[in-house]
Chain A
Amino acid sequence: DQQVKQNSPSLSVQEGRISILNCDYTNSMFDYFLWYKKYPAEGPTFLISISSIKDKNEDGRFTVFLNKSAKHLSLHIVPSQPGDSAVYFCAAGSGAGSYQLTFGKGTKLSVIP
């Protein structure tokens, strides 16, 4: 049972345009969410996070939106750059002393020059 779903395995976007990566979750106990980016032959690196008390968090070109009622979050990248081409993983966790993060399968973003 997938508790974190990234339904788009891949996404292609033109350079300079907006990239929108989506993530849905089913567990209402999740109270914080993260996005990680992974280049080939490297481990994932942390990108941005959001707590359930917020509905938006912004860091430079990256913005994460959280819609708790829909159990949906999205990562917006504006403007998209060729160096953003990577696999993006959505992850979710619940506080209360847990060390567990539940990851989605990832979405491969290709930014076309």
Chain B
Amino acid sequence: SQTIHQWPATLVQPVGSPLSLECTVEGTSNPNLYWYRQAAGRGLQLLFYSVGIGQISSEVPQNLSASRPQDRQFILSSKKLLLSDSGFYLCAWSVLRPDNSPLHFGNGTRLTVT
């Protein structure tokens, strides 16, 4: 069966510090991978998605970047965190596009930037 691992579960970082969140998927090959964020009082917002190794599409211009160094690994990074980067970050995968297969989410990372 397929599983998705996302860590850490919670993170408190000072403004200006770097960020690296990692997500790995097991049990499937060549998945579509996604990073979503839920800010306070907002819905889930798609930040990045990837359809293959080294292929990253950004949906929202921001202070963050994403990389996919391996087929089942997706990393969210920032060189310098802002207060507005606080939120709940979710990694997800799907077999096909979201209109043809559901998203499978990790348990998320609660990031607080102080």
Contact = CB atoms under 8 A, between A and B. Distances in A.
Interface in B77-104: 90, 92, 97-99, 102-104
Contacts of B106: 43
Interface residues of A, number: 27
Given A98-B97, A99-B49, A103-B45, A41 B107 contact: yes
Contacts of B98: 34, 93, 98-101
Contacts of A100: 46, 59, 98
Contacts of A31: 99
- Chain A: interface secondary structure? loop
Interface residues of B, number: 28
B102 A43 contact: no
**Most chain-B CB neighbours within 10 Å: which of A97, A103, A104?**
A103
B102 A34 contact: yes
Contacts of A43: 4, 6, 90, 92, 104-108
Given A93-B98, A99-B57, A45 B105 contact: yes
Interface in A63-89: 89
30 contacts: A2-B43, A34-B98, A34-B102, A36-B103, A41-B9, A42-B107, A43-B6, A43-B90, A43-B106, A43-B107, A43-B108, A44-B44, A44-B90, A46-B104, A91-B44, A93-B98, A95-B97, A98-B98, A99-B32, A99-B46, A99-B49, A99-B98, A100-B98, A101-B46, A101-B103, A102-B43, A103-B36, A103-B43, A105-B42, A105-B43
Given A42-B107, A99-B97, 4 more contacts: A34-B102, A43-B90, A43-B107, A93-B99
Interface of A: 2, 4, 31-32, 34, 36, 41-46, 49, 89, 91, 93, 95, 97-106
